[in-house]
Amino acid sequence: MALRLLLLFLVVVCGQWPGDKVIASSLPKQQPAGLLILGDSISAAYGIDKSYGWVALLENRLHGQCPEVAVYNVSVSGETTAGGLVRLPDLLSRFRPALVVVELGGNDGLRGLPPAQMQSNLQQMARLVRAAGAQPIFLGILIPPNYGESYRRLFEQAIVSAASIEQVPLLEFFLAGVADRKELMQADGLHPTEEAQTLLLANAWQVLSKPLLQLCGDNELAGTPNIP
């Protein structure tokens, strides 16, 4: 009798019999897979409307074709690899991305910072990303020849070596097909114009396509690889 009263009490107060499973709607929703863009002024769409930047163009395509992937653009104009390394742990904790694109190094070169330190910073970022359960990707950059052949060679080798040692997919020159076309660069000669952004997205797609397709599951991201 006492046992029956106890079971009845549980039904009235708790709304379920002991051992009943919690319904799925009461469980917290899973956070969307995240794509984190950690870059400098190029990814921050310096000098143009941010809604036309290459990251925004990518986000718009994913929103329509792969809404389960959220894009977080945390790029800052003037950012160096050292600055990105300092910011990265908090960003990984806050956004919990599945994929992290590191588009840094250009400001290291423009400031003449040591390539060896840049390489170390990039390698540490790759390790932090993987430790957080995400996949890193590097978008590389080249510097003008007026910095001297020796420094230019060390700079380019540093990015390639960091990617090779940490086995990170690398696009060696993010501005390929853009930097050498005056009409696609702003007056400062450093930043791409609005018209260049589709080309930047096409370049980035070379290393983004495979991991994004994996995140999108059955979705095919129709048309994205054929950006003009």
Rounded to 5 degrees, φ, ψ at 100 are -125, 120
| Catalytic residue from among 40, 43, 108, 191 | 191
Tokens, residue 227: 């950006």
| Catalytic residue from among 41, 43, 75, 108 | 41
Annotated catalytic, 218? no
| Catalytic residue from among 25, 26, 150, 188 | 188
d(CA 103, CA 50): 17
d(CA 159, CA 126): 12
CB 52 within 8 A of CB 45: yes
Q: Which of 141, 163, 161 is nearest to 152 (CA)?
A: 141
Annotated catalytic, 41? yes
Annotated catalytic, 191? yes
d(CA 155, CA 118): 8
What does the DSSP 8-state code read for residue 15? S
Region of 50 on the Ramachandran plot (φ > 0 left; ψ -120 to 50 alpha; else beta): alpha
For the chain, give percent helix, strand, coil, nearest 5.
50, 10, 35
Catalytic residues, which ones? 41, 188, 191
